[in-house]
Amino acid sequence: MSKRVLTTESGAPVADNQNSASAGVGGPLLLQDQHLLEKLARFNRERIPERVVHARGSGAYGHFEVTDDVTGFTQAGFLGGIGKRTEVFVRFSTVADSLGGADAVRDPRGFAVKFYTEEGNYDLVGNNTPVFFIKDPIKFPDFIHSQKRDPFTGRQEPDNVWDFWAHAPEATHQVTWLMGDRGIPASYRHMNGYGSHTYQWTNASGEAFFVKYHFKTNQGIRCLSSEQAAKTAGKDPNSHQTDLLQAIERGVHPSWTLYVQIMPAAEAADYRFNPFDLTKVWPHRDHPLRRVGRLVLDRNPDNVFAEVEQAAFSPNNFVPGIGPSPDKMLQGRLFAYADAHRYRLGVNHTQLAVNAPKATTAQNYGRDGFMAANAQGRHAKNYEPNSYDGPVQTGRPLSAPLAVSGYTGSHEAPLHTKDDDFFQAGELYRLMSQEERSRLVANIAGSLSQVSRDDVIEKNLAHFHAADPDYGKRVEEAVRALRED
């Protein structure tokens, strides 16, 4: 059996892939060696800008299967019947560190799911926590800057981390999650995933509901202590990637059960918490979990760069029956994510295999730009409306309209009866066992005690005192003890 011929990128056969062309034996190399120049030029361009956040990630393919009827709440086709299966791609990630960072670190995890539905791709972009640090996207660049490497020292600085949190009391709930036992998952397989934001579902009758997504791991929750994580990160910085890859390769397919919380749209205005505040949860006693289906991952990517690094998830990729809510952070992400992909990957990133629809075909008038592969035929038009049988609008909105009122301007979110920055953080603390509380306090104190400014420490201690008196007292004592050593 003859071997395939190695060629240049233009398809010409390569005569010698071991020796560069030179001016005589031992002479200088020749500019005319097209194969050499092509290889070096491509090598120089193999890397693209990494994600500003969620740079370090892993991914896998699988499917989502509906197990329970939710057609009374949404007309989304991929949720339209028990037994319905949809291909998915899932990307897990850390948030703060760079592409070369370790997996086993204390950090929220991204949990992004791309559903390749027959009505287009639906991207559900969330985290492994049901809440986040801030509630308004105008603060997001500042928050990320405070968590990233300092411009002078080149490392993450406790001074910056805690100084921002000192000025963002709404972060207290998420800080309690992050510093608790679930702050370092043992693997991607052993953590939950959440849509985190509030989304809107619309049924076939046009009724609107607000929903929150919960992916509960079927492997069980497993986490690492700070000491275990340090050992794991030192032994294998790629620990979570290794675990996911090897589990799927040996036929152990991780799975999650999807549940949703559902709130009729009319109830949102009078709910005791602002239902669109990303720093808040909906207590399950108010809105119980309703099972929807099962997510299974059973195939590893063939090429991590092509399929994981170039995977582009955008919260504005909705399908009929699903839409946004007034959640301010979600509204900001509707723009920011797609814009980040246009910067990193180019305007035609949706044509890449991992991002392109699989169960349908994209039909629009977007043409040209870098790496365009959508010429669409000799006589295809690039404007609409036209008289040449081009694709046309449906006139059917994907979701129900959102009611708006009032004056334009910069507004704080409306206060609901139980809205403050500390109540839910205190509720979370009081749910913990004594052992869990002790570990939480030790984790916070170990980091907060490194802050150089007393006023920043005091501001943060005030947040924990406001959440729960015992919480604040124990953190304050632990910080004082560490600073006196």
Give start and end residues of each alpha helix (H) in 45-101. Answer: none
Q: How far apart are the C-alpha atoms of 474 and 440, rounded to whole Å?
A: 10
Using one digit for the tens of pLDDT, what is the confidence trace for 52-99?
A: 999 999 999 999 999 999 999 999 999 999 999 999 999 999 999 999
- pLDDT over threshold 80, residue 380: yes
Enumerate the β-bridge partners of residue 57: 93
User: Is residue 262 within 8 Å of 197, Cβ to Cβ?
Assistant: no
Angle of the 454-467 helix axis to the 434-448 helix axis, nearest 10:
160
Please report the pLDDT score of residue 353 as a whole number: 94
**Residue 293 phi, psi (nearest 5):** -175, -170
Please report the pLDDT score of residue 219 as a whole number: 98
Give start and end residues of each alpha helix (H) in 191-327. Answer: 226-235, 239-249, 304
127 labelled catalytic: yes
Percent of the chain at pLDDT > 70 equals 100
- pLDDT over threshold 90, residue 116: yes
Tokens, residue 451:
């802050």
- pLDDT over threshold 90, residue 403: no
Which of 352, 337, 296, 243 has its CA nearest to residue 89? 296
Q: What does the buried/exposed string (b/e) look like for 129-142 if buried means 16 or more CB atoms within 10 Å of the residue's CB? A: bbbbbbbbbebbee
Average pLDDT, the chain: 94
User: Is residue 161 within 8 Å of 175, Cβ to Cβ?
Assistant: no
Sequence-separated (6 or more) residues with CB below 8 Å from residue 34: 8
Which of 312, 396, 315 has its CA nearest to residue 356? 312
- pLDDT over threshold 80, residue 374: no
Please report the pLDDT score of residue 398 as a whole number: 87
What mean pLDDT is predicted for residues 100-109?
A: 96
Using one digit for the tens of pLDDT, what is the confidence trace for 135-155?
A: 999 999 999 999 999 999 999
Residue 213 CB-density burial (10 A; 0-12 exposed, 13-18 middle, 19+ buried): buried
What mean pLDDT is predicted for residues 377-406?
A: 87
Please report the pLDDT score of residue 246 as a whole number: 98
Alpha-carbon separation of residue 273 from 165, 331, 415 (angstroms): 22, 19, 8
Using one digit for the tens of pLDDT, what is the confidence trace for 2-26?
A: 889 989 888 889 999 999 999 999 8
- pLDDT over threshold 80, residue 1: no
411 labelled catalytic: no
Using one digit for the tens of pLDDT, what is the confidence trace for 406-428?
A: 888 888 888 898 889 999 999 99
One DSSP character per residue, 91-116 reads EEEESSS-TTS-SSSSS-EEEEEEEE
Which of 61, 70, 117 has its CA nearest to residue 304? 61
What mean pLDDT is predicted for residues 94-107?
A: 94
**Catalytic one of 63, 121, 127, 317:** 127
**Catalytic one of 54, 63, 173, 197:** 54
Cα of first residue to Cα of last residue in the chain, in angstroms, is: 73
Alpha-carbon separation of residue 427 from 113, 176, 216, 471 (angstroms): 30, 10, 21, 11
Percent of the chain at pLDDT > 90 equals 81
Please report the pLDDT score of residue 318 as a whole number: 95
Using one digit for the tens of pLDDT, what is the confidence trace for 22-59?
A: 999 988 999 999 999 988 888 888 889 999 999 999 99
Q: What's the whole-model pTM score? A: 0.93
